[in-house]
């Protein structure tokens, strides 16, 4: 069985974003062009036994328009996007909880594990966070480390993108003492 997703390449302030929707318009994957191989691996893992075909399209979907609005400052533009993911039940539980993190706020991996009722599953939460196929919409960038020395950890798109996204959402500023040691030029 072959499943087709429509793949768009969007120019954003953070580089070229890859966005794929199914034929019903549900968002299936969001990643960055420089991580395209990882994106394809995530698709293989999330849809085992299925052949996923990514058909490139130049047409902009409503999800793409929402992404453009988000980058232009309409921070809640991604809130109502419909997503459909594979993954395990545990992963989907973590991803659902990620969508409940308010714009402009962050949570630690421990806080997220506690929120889903699994406070000892911090590592599993981190792995599920890293396997999130629809970053930004399922805002895995809002999860930070607990340590004061390294709060910006674990973002598949890269720490610089995570920092930019959190600053864009006003969740952090470059002037925060915890960030001064890790951000260049501060």
| Catalytic residue flag (residue 140) | yes
Residues 6+ apart with CB under 8 A from 182: 150, 152, 159
Task: Report whether 43 contacts 29 (CB < 8 A).
Answer: yes
Query: Catalytic residue among 140, 144, 171, 172, which?
Result: 140
Quick check: 32 and 16 in contact, CB under 8 A?
yes
Query: Which neighbouring-strand residues pair with 12?
Result: 15
Burial of 133 (0-12, 13-18, 19+ CB in 10 A): buried
Which residues belong to the active site?
Answer: 140
């Amino acid at each position: 069985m072959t499943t087709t997703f429509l793949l768009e390449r969007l120019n954003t302030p953070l580089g070229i974003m890859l966005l794929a929707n199914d034929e019903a318009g549900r968002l299936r994957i969001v990643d960055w062009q420089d991580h395209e191989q990882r994106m394809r691996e995530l698709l293989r893992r999330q849809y085992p036994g299925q052949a996923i075909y990514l058909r490139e399209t130049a047409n902009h979907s409503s999800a793409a328009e929402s992404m453009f609005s988000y980058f232009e400052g309409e921070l809640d533009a991604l809130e109502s996007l419909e997503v459909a993911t594979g993954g395990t039940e545990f992963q989907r539980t973590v991803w659902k909880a990620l969508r409940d993190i308010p714009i402009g706020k962050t949570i630690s991996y421990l806080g997220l594990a506690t929120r889903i009722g699994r406070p000892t599953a911090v590592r599993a939460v981190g792995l599920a966070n890293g396997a999130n196929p629809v970053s930004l919409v399922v805002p895995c960038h809002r999860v930070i480390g607990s340590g004061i020395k390294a709060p910006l950890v674990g973002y598949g798109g890269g720490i610089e993108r995570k920092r930019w996204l959190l600053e864009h959402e006003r969740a952090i500023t470059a002037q925060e003492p915890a960030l001064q040691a890790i951000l260049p030029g501060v």
